[in-house]
Amino acid sequence: MKIININKLLVLLVFGTLYWGCSKDNLEVDPVNEFLSENYYQTESQVYNALVAAYDPLGWTMAFGNWISEVMFGEIRSDNANAGGDPSDNDQPGWQEFDDFRNTNTNTITQSIYRRFYIGIFRANLVIEKPEISTAEVQKYQAEAKFLRAYYHFELFRHFGPIPVVTTTLTPDDTELSRNTMTEVFTAIEKDLLDAIQVLPLSLSSSQAGRANKNAAQALLGKVYLYWADLAGDDPTIFNKSAEQFSDVVESGLYFLEDDLQSLFAFGVKNPGESVFEIQKSNLWPSDWGWFEGIEGNGIVQLCGVRGLCDSHPDYETGWGFMLPTASLADSYLPDDAYRKDVALLSVEEIEADIVGSGASCSPAVNTTESNPLDFTGYWQEKFANYRGYSGTNVNGGDPNLTKDANIYSIRYADVLLMLAEALHRGSGSDGEAMAYIDQVRERALGPGDNSELLRSSSQLMSDLGWSLLDVIWYERRAEFAMEGDRWFDLVRSGRANSSLFDGDPLRSGNFSDKHLWLPISLEELSVATNLTEYPDASLFQ
């Protein structure tokens, strides 16, 4: 989140990370900073600035020289997408390794992911611990920091499994870290979110868009409970806790499904009525390749745009062709779910039709030989479209490839409804109520307007296809959130991540093993914190 320009934050000059290093060349003696971390947190304004810094890592799509994105990881690691890139199959080798289950603890991206979230935790801990004043406003900032600390711990867990829980500020000498158990991780996250829920306001002004409110904390807690219940052997009591949190979000009445799913991903759309928590991006900062963590735009728009697109396309500019949808994903959509498929995936045929419809002259409409032949299946993702309109928004300079400001949905209302349905079904709730929530999402997926007469309900799907209600839920989650980053994490937490997902892809299915359910902690980190284990063992999942 970018509440104010980061270059205006003196506090960032004094915030370190868990393991910052410096050299003589990096030291600036003149001017000497007015504030140090020990004497900074004395006014509401200073605490607010520290909170901005704690939000900042949410929006990083590049860090420490690497592309990093939980959206990309959650799709490329799964059966939804391949890495893509140029025809060499060696474009961005770290992501190619993730795609093919060839990554080890020396993967170049792993440490960047790990550092990103622990930097967020470090900054959140400063807001929670350091202030020397306690006003109502500061207490709200600290509640937001607890939300962020929970968010970062949860993302670390989703990538690495049970990880060290850090709830105090550390120094470079604090290297005796070890993994906590799953219960300890989730208990710490639960406590932070319950504390935050007691303080955070229910609604925010438009100028506060992107900050956590009570419902965002409840939705995140419901999601945490869902993972916890799943990984704890389908514990119905924890599923019931999940349902309670999601029900509160629904009953608040603050959110609704946008009539047109496509409108959520249209150019310039930010913080619509379906957005429960959304990561803010900006084109106001002149981002360039010299400071990866200072890039305020959404890097994956350019990275995952259509590669080889002709210059005459009326809507889109060419991109670099990563996160290519698989045939498995394209084929998974039911015949009566064509609109939702069209929102997520862009085909060669659609691009050609766009060119013809615009009257432009361009042959070929897209040069598919520029794409990775091992990964390209005839589709590109369309939710992070590289709109031509971005070319006119780079008002303050910087690299135009890095200033495309599409926001990222972290939790949207459709997700709340489907997670609530799952929690009700797998806990002790009503299946009828669960199906009603699913059918809200299914009806909207048919396209704008009232499609109730065309709706094939959850119960009809179960009857027509012989599916269970859980099968319907799994289908809905994949179809609704394709290319948004949750697929791999859903597969892992539900025990469905296995080699059979990659039938037809001998490389991926042959390389996959259970150790690939989690990323290894990097060799760089293991050499510093020697009590850490590379992978989590089974004893930690209790």
pLDDT of residue 393: 76
How far is 52 from 41, CA to CA, in rounded Å?
13
Phi and psi angles of residue 350, each rounded to the nearest 5 degrees, phi first:
-65, -40
Sign of the four-CA dihedral 83, 85, 87, 91: negative
Cβ–Cβ < 8 Å for 389, 266: no
pLDDT of residue 405: 95
| Pair of tokens at residue 9 | 């934050």
pLDDT of residue 392: 73
pLDDT of residue 31: 47
Structural domain includes residue 39? yes
Cβ–Cβ < 8 Å for 213, 201: yes
Give the DSSP letter string of 451-476: -TTT---HHHHHHHH---HHHHHHHH
Counting every residue written for the chain, the total comes to 542
Sign of the four-CA dihedral 87, 93, 99, 101: positive
Structural domain includes residue 246? yes
Closest to 464 (Cα-Cα) out of 302, 335, 286:
335
Structural domain includes residue 330? no
Cβ–Cβ < 8 Å for 166, 121: yes
Structural domain includes residue 506? yes
pLDDT of residue 32: 53
Structural domain includes residue 341? no
Structural domain includes residue 345? no
Q: How many domains does the chain have?
A: 1
Phi and psi angles of residue 268, each rounded to the nearest 5 degrees, phi first:
85, -5
Cα–Cα–Cα angle for 299, 115, 416, nearest 5°?
65
Q: Return averaged pLDDT per consecutive 10 residues of the chain, 542 residues in all.
A: 35 35 42 67 96 97 95 98 95 97 97 97 97 96 98 98 96 91 98 98 94 98 98 97 98 98 97 98 91 94 97 94 98 97 97 91 92 96 96 81 96 98 98 98 97 96 98 98 98 97 94 97 95 96 94
Structural domain includes residue 362? no
Q: Tell me, what CATH number does 450's domain have?
A: 1.25.40.390
| Pair of tokens at residue 430 | 């009503």
Peptide bond into 364 cis (omega under 30): yes
Cβ–Cβ < 8 Å for 151, 116: no
Cβ–Cβ < 8 Å for 525, 111: yes
Three-state secondary-structure class, residue 198: helix
Structural domain includes residue 14? yes
Domain ranges, residue 473: 6-282+410-540
